[in-house]
Chain A
Amino acid sequence: MTATTVRPASTQRPAQHRRRANRRPGSLRRMRQATPLTYFALLLTLVLSVFPLWWMFVIATRTTTAASQFPPALLPGPNFGANIVRLFENPSANFTTGLLNSLIASTTVAVSVVFFCSLAGFALAKLNFKGRTVATVAVVVTMAVPVQIGLVPLLILMEWFGWRGELQSVIVPFMVSGFGVFMMRQYVTQTIPDELIEAARIDGCSTFRIYWSIVLPALRPAMVVLGLLTFMQTWNEFIWALAVLSPSNPTVQFSIQQLNESAYARDFALMFTGATFATLPLLIIFVVLGRQLVGRIMEGAIKA
Chain B
Amino acid sequence: MTSLQHGAPPSRPPGRVDGGARTQDRDPRRQARARRRLMWSRLDVRASPYAFIAPFFLLFGVFGLFPLLYTVWVSLHDWSLIGGNEGWAGLDNYARLVTDPVFWNALYNTMGIFVLAVVPQLLLALLLADTLNRRIRFANLFRMTMILPYITSIAALAIVFSTLFGGEQFGLINQLLAAVGLEPIAWHGDRYAAWTAIAVMIDWRWTGYNALIYLAAMQSIPKDVYEAADLDGASRMRQFWQITIPLLRPTIVFTVIISTIGQMQLFTEPAIFDNSAGYGGGTQGQFQTVMMLVFEEVFTYQNYGYAAAVSWVLFLLVVVLGLINTWITSRIRGAE
Contact = CB atoms under 8 A, between A and B. Distances in A.
Interface stretch (B112-120, B166-174, B191-199): B166-174
A301 B216 contact: yes
Interface stretch (B25-33, B102-110, B204-212, B280-288): B204-212
Interface in A28-48: 28-34, 38-39, 41-42, 45-46, 48
Contacts of B70: 150, 153, 156-157
Given A276-B156, A297-B147, A302-B217, A15 B172 contact: no
Contacts of A232: 151
A161 B66 CA distance: 15
Given A31-B135, A278-B155, A279-B156, A150 B311 contact: yes
A157 B213 contact: no
A38 B131 contact: yes
Given A22-B220, A120-B53, A154-B67, A50 B148 contact: yes
B335 interface: no
A80 interface: no
Given A144-B261, A261-B275, A155 B298 contact: yes
Contacts of A301: 212-214, 216-217, 251, 254
Interface string B216-235: 11011001000100000000
A286 B5 CA distance: 18
B136 A206 contact: no
B1 to A, nearest CB: 6
Interface in B229-285: 236, 250-251, 254, 261, 264-265, 267-268, 271-272, 275-277
Contacts of B171: 68
Interface in A107-148: 116-117, 119-120, 122-124, 127-129, 132, 135, 138-139, 142, 144-148
Interface in A178-193: 178, 181, 191-193
A149 B53 contact: no
Contacts of B217: 1, 301-302
A253 to B, nearest CB: 4
Given A21-B219, A129-B50, A34 B135 contact: yes
A122 B18 contact: no
B23 interface: no
B149 A49 contact: yes
Contacts of A204: 21, 37, 41
A42 B142 contact: yes
A117 B56 contact: yes
A56 interface: yes
A243 B160 CA distance: 22
B220 A68 contact: no
Nearest to B221: A29
Contacts of B330: none
B10 A214 contact: yes
Contact of A129 (B9, B41, B49): B49
Contacts of A33: 134-135
Given A202-B18, A239-B291, 15 more contacts: A3-B220, A22-B220, A49-B145, A49-B204, A122-B52, A123-B52, A138-B57, A153-B70, A156-B304, A196-B12, A199-B12, A224-B4, A253-B153, A253-B155, A285-B151
7 contacts: A34-B136, A116-B59, A173-B63, A207-B45, A243-B299, A276-B156, A294-B143
Interface of A: 1, 3-4, 13-15, 18, 21-22, 28-34, 38-39, 41-42, 45-46, 48-50, 52-53, 55-56, 67-68, 70, 72, 116-117, 119-120, 122-124, 127-129, 132, 135, 138-139, 142, 144-157, 172-176, 178, 181, 191-193, 195-196, 199, 202-204, 206-208, 211, 214, 217-218, 220-221, 224, 232, 235-236, 238-239, 242-243, 253, 256-257, 260-261, 266, 268, 271-272, 274-276, 278-279, 282-283, 285-286, 288, 290-294, 297-302, 304
Interface of B: 1, 3-10, 12, 17-18, 21, 37, 41, 44-46, 48-50, 52-53, 55-57, 59-60, 62-68, 70-71, 73-74, 79, 127-128, 131-137, 140, 142-149, 151-157, 159-164, 166, 169-172, 175-176, 179, 204, 208-209, 212-217, 219-220, 223, 227, 236, 250-251, 254, 261, 264-265, 267-268, 271-272, 275-277, 291, 294-295, 298-299, 304, 307-308, 311-312, 314-315, 318, 322
